[in-house]
Amino acid sequence: MQTKRLLKDRIASKLMLLLTVSSGLIVFVMAFGLYQRSRPILAIKPLSELLFSTSWHPLRGEFGFFPFIMGTLWVTGVAVAIAIPLCLLTAIYLSEYAHRWVREWTKPLIDLLAGIPSVVYGVWGVLIIVPLIKDYVAPFCGTFSSGYSVLAGGVVLAIMVFPIIIHVSVEVFRSVPYEVREASLALGATKWQTVKHVVMRKALPGVIAAIVLGLSRAFGETMAVLMVAGNVAKVPSSILDPAYPLPALIANNYGEMLSVPLYDSALLLSSLALLLVVLFFNIISRVILIRVERSIQ
């Protein structure tokens, strides 16, 4: 009886260790698996052609990712530009000014925003943002737009990254020790001056990490962007032009990719690229956040 219990414990310990190690290795397995599948195209095409050619004709064997890379950058850029000021102001308000009950009431609401599926954001974008741009924004700017545009993608993405940026930056702001604020207030600084010169300076690395996390989320978001960005394989020249971001490209062509040579390889290469870029961003911001956490303890 005694030994059976101990034996069970020992076996369970080994099994759990195995599971732990293998789940830690998933990232590497994913990168390796995608790399294996994208090797055929990497063997034939030079990387510079894949990255900088604008000619996307899979049937003729031409795979230039440049329009899609630019589409991703435009949409992500617009989203981040909209999200940064709104999220930072909200985060400062929640951590420095708001009553406790306001904080407690907004948290579940922001969690709810994070829980809405991206396809629902897409439907909302199609119903509200796209017509708004077509009927009001574009005529106001004196041009024509179908509404399916960089701007529509950016607005929808911005709302999708609100929760993560707010959540992480509120945590960073609240980790700034209270004594630092008191010292500044005691010198006669107003609350806003304290926030601007003391809290912000202390929290800056963490805030950057929060923004980078939001950015990488926007970078890989697929469904909502696919539904509102227009999907035209051309480099956009204004925010009212349609764009075709990389994730949308991958999702849109799953049907035909096995019937055209190299097509699947090209699409899996672009998912590998997405994975690597997002990993890079995530590793940087997580390292910053760990440092911030340590410097406070």
Partner 1 sequence: MDRRKIEENIFKGLMNASMLIILASLVFILVTIIVRGLPAMNLAMITQTPKGGYYLGKEGGILNAIVGSLYLAGGATLLAILISLPVVLYLNIYSKKGSRLVAFTRFSFDVLWGVPSIVYGAFGFTIMLFFGLRASLLGGIIAVALLVLPIMSRAMDEVIRMVPQELLESSYALGATRLQTAFKVVTRQALPGILTAVLIAFGRGIGDAASVIFTAGFTDYIPYSLLRPAATLPLAIFFQLGTPFPEVQERAYASALILTVIILIISIVSRILITRFTKHIVK
**Binding track, positions 141-160, relative to partner 1; x by CB under 8 A:** ------------------x-
Q: How far is the CB of 144 from partner 1 (least distance, A)?
A: 21
Separation CA 106–CA 16 (nearest Å): 38
Does 294 help bind partner 1 (rule: CB under 8 A)? no
Neighbours of 254 (CB within 10 A): 10
Q: How far is the CB of 51 from partner 1 (least distance, A)?
A: 19
Which backbone phi and psi does 260 adopt, to 5 degrees? -110, 130
**Binding track, positions 12-41, relative to partner 1; x by CB under 8 A:** xx-xxx-xxx-xxxxx--x--xx-xx----
152 touches 129 (CB < 8 A): yes
Separation CA 109–CA 107 (nearest Å): 5
Does 260 help bind partner 1 (rule: CB under 8 A)? no
Does 90 help bind partner 1 (rule: CB under 8 A)? yes
Does 219 help bind partner 1 (rule: CB under 8 A)? yes
Does 185 help bind partner 1 (rule: CB under 8 A)? no
Does 85 help bind partner 1 (rule: CB under 8 A)? yes
Which tokens is 165 given?
């940026």
Q: Which is nearer to partner 1, 57 or 197 (CB)?
A: 197
Estimate to the nearest angstrom the gap between the alpha carbon of 186 and the chain centroid: 40
Binders in 162-181 for partner 1, by CB under 8 A: 162, 166
CA atoms within 13 A on the CB side of 114: 16
